Structure 1
Amino acid sequence: MTTPAVPAPARMPVLYLSHGAPPLADDPLWPAELAAWSAELPRPRAILMVSAHWEEAPLALGATERAPLVYDFWGFPEHYYRVRYDAPGAPELAASVRALLKAPGTPVQDIPDRGLDHGAYVPLVEMYPAADVPVLQISLPTLDPARLMDLGRRLAPLRDEGVLIVGSGFFTHNLAALRHTGVPGWSAEFDAWGGEALAARDVDALLDFEAKSPAGRLAHPRTEHFAPLFVTLGAAGSDLDAQSTPVDGFWMGLSKRSVQFG
């Protein structure tokens, strides 16, 4: 009797999403946008998350078994600290990441008790609420855009193994300069510029966003929330031409622009 062939996994797209704060779950629009987005994606075998909220060098791999979430925020109502997301760990994915990144001078470390932070689990609760897809989070080892692009290129083969690579940040992020109402000019200007640069596939402009964008230093006084975009761009490769923007608009004055390649 011939054993049926196991179908090869679909090549996965790669995402950059604006992940939101814990109150995202209470927004009247955003959770449905994320749920509709994930419903249109191929089913991933695993998810690799790169979040703005974990900077660690050399690059670190988080928990490969279920571990408590990292509630890396302060001053919120108690129920936000009771959220659970018990997705399976992804030890096989961790092994693949180690193999892809193994090279002289590029050490990879393991932090086995490091659970998912809110940049990872807050959007995943909305996109994959059953928590039945294995998830691995890795750290941002640098904020240098060119080096993060290279990291994305090295991780890109995972897409052919059915892995959904997600860069999780926020398209504009300056909490200190927010107004009580409306969208600040700096946020609107940067969002419009960034949307045009992405649509034009102008990677050079994006790499030099602090100098070339309007209000770039106001939109990102520290660049960790824009940095995951460069991992996404590197992993996208030739799929830069297959681009969509499933989520846009603003939340509390910040741009929630999120993009998909492939």
Structure 2
Amino acid sequence: MSMPTIFVSHGSPTLILNDVPARGFLASLGKELPKPTAIVAVSAHWNTDVPAVSLARRPGTIHDFYGFPDALYQLRYDAPGAPVLAERVARLTGAAHDPHRGLDHGAWVPALLGWPEADIPIFQLSVQPDESPAHHIALGRKLAPLRDEGVLVMGSGSATHNLRALVRSGAASEPEPWAQAFDDWLADAVARGDEAALAGYRSQAPYAEANHPSDEHLLPLHVAYGAAGEGARGRPLHRSFTLGNLSMAAYAFG
């Protein structure tokens, strides 16, 4: 059976320290899926002009954030890299090589929660914020053969991502209608496998600009969708909100 592809919303870096539903979901991820032979992590936090893959044999844990609790900076994810597979992904996609890139929090936070044993090889593939969602769907399609080898393509971003609108007080709050409307639209488009809608979300989704002032946090979803192959549909793995308007939705495609 082919491995599904997934998209997860990784939230704030402090998600890994907080007792919220999304953390509980990510902690169950390894039980929700067959154990991968390797993980290709497509994170919203590695942005390049052209696709690039990380070939590090022992990717370091990148703490790419500032002003957070000290406990967060003590966390490490010491899984091995997969340079041979990464080189193959580079050939499939035409991606450039980065021999030193480690794992940013878009990769290591969900990986540490889902596969805490750190025994699955993992490496990253970058996104190109100056390119379209359609470009990223096409990029994902080039990864589709990996599914039959048990490789998990994991897009990691955010189903909604407007940092200026977040409720940072820590108090629980219902998402505002503009965030809920976009989140519901996305869930429907994913369930229908509507490639045209997903590629054209900027003009088709309600409140697209309010939910995504820039594209980079949704582009990993487009890669995961593309990697599931032609005609793929998605199913929800989890839906919740944190910080008021930050959707933590996650989907499996296949």
Aligned to 1:105: none
Aligned to 1:134: 121
Deviation at 1:27, TM superposition (A): 2.6
TM-score by length of 1: 0.89
Q: After TM superposition, where is structure 1 displaced by more than 6 Å over at least 4 residues in a row?
A: none
Q: Percent identity?
A: 43
2:128/2:216 contact within 8 Å kept: no
Aligned with 1:120 (options 100, 103, 107) = 107
Q: How many residues align?
A: 247
Aligned to 2:154: 166
1:7-30 CA distance string (max 9 Å, x none): xxx521100110122211223232
Deviation at 1:244, TM superposition (A): 2.1
Aligned with 2:36 (options 38, 44, 53) = 44
Counterparts of residues 17-32 of structure 1 (less than 5 Å): 17-28=8-19, 29-32=21-24
Aligned with 1:82 (options 67, 70, 74) = 74
Counterparts of residues 69-218 of structure 1 (less than 5 Å): 69-102=61-94, 108-142=95-129, 143-179=131-167, 180=169, 182=173, 183-218=175-210
Deviation at 1:175, TM superposition (A): 0.7
Distance in 2 (alpha carbons) for counterparts of 1:26 and 1:191 = 25
Deviation at 1:239, TM superposition (A): 6.2
Distance in 1 (alpha carbons) for counterparts of 2:177 and 2:17 = 26
AA of the residue aligned to 1:111: D
Distance in 2 (alpha carbons) for counterparts of 1:70 and 1:239 = 36
TM-score by length of 2: 0.92
* 5+ residue gaps, structure 1: 1-9, 103-107
Deviation at 1:95, TM superposition (A): 2.2
Deviation at 1:43, TM superposition (A): 1.1
* 5+ residue gaps, structure 2: none
1:170-229 CA distance string (max 9 Å, x none): 000001122355222221111011112222222211211111111110000011001111
Work out which of the two has the higher radius of gyration on C-alpha atoms and give 1 or 2.
1
1:85-114 CA distance string (max 9 Å, x none): 000010121122122124xxxxx3222121
1:52-79 CA distance string (max 9 Å, x none): 0011122111242113221111111111
